[in-house]
Amino acid sequence: MGVSENNAHYGHRLRVYRKIGDVIYDEVYYLTENGKPVTKKREREIRAQARARDKELLAMQKEYQQEMEAANPIKFHSDGRIVGLTRQQQHNKGRVVDIFKLRIRLPDGSISWGSISIDLHGFDKAFDMALDRIVEVLGINRRTKIYRKMKAAKKAY
């Protein structure tokens, strides 16, 4: 969230708020002392202090996010579907084609696209082919817990 400024009846203040993992950092910097505004010089010091703390927390937040992405390149929706693998119906020349659409974010930030026809291969084989493509592109071992969790996501589709 960063630094926000609030001017309430109990005092003018700056609030630094960031969430890093399960820890919430919520810090308040008051711009009043004994109910009176601080001097302009002191206000600049307090603002600089709040911005510096926000930059520090932002760096910690980015580092945490990078660690989490490196540890687990596959994410799941709340209903169990794999992020980046969707089941769609395409309308082509009056007929409907059922497909799995792939959108895989690579570690370097680029995106790999693809689609696999469910009508052509059948649901089970198309789902396995989609998982094989994800595993191949991201370099995931098929004997890991994340791969088993991906296989179990079949019922969500």
pLDDT range class, residue 109, cuts 50, 70, 90:
confident
* More confident site: 71 or 88: 88
Q: What is the pLDDT of residues 49-76, one digit of tens each?
A: 999 999 999 999 999 988 877 767 787 8
Report yes or no: 151 and 131 within 8 Å, Cβ to Cβ.
Answer: yes
* More confident site: 116 or 108: 116
Residue 36, pLDDT > 70, answer yes
Report yes or no: 71 and 51 within 8 Å, Cβ to Cβ.
Answer: no
Report how far residue 100's alpha carbon sits from residue 82's, in angstroms, rounded to the nearest whole number: 11
Predicted pLDDT at 55 = 95
Predicted pLDDT at 121 = 93
Report how far residue 15's alpha carbon sits from residue 129's, in angstroms, rounded to the nearest whole number: 49
Give the percent of the chain with pLDDT over 70: 97
Report yes or no: 124 and 135 within 8 Å, Cβ to Cβ.
Answer: no
Q: Where are the domains of the chain?
A: 2-71, 85-156
Cα angle at 86 between 81 and 88, to 5 degrees?
A: 135
Predicted pLDDT at 1 = 66
Say if pTM beats, i.e. exceeds, 0.75.
no
The SS3 call for residue 55 is helix
Instruction: For residue 11, report the phi and psi dihedrals to the nearest 5 degrees.
Output: 140, 150
Residue 11, pLDDT > 80, answer no
Phi-psi region of 62 (alpha: psi -120 to 50; beta: other; left: phi over 0): alpha
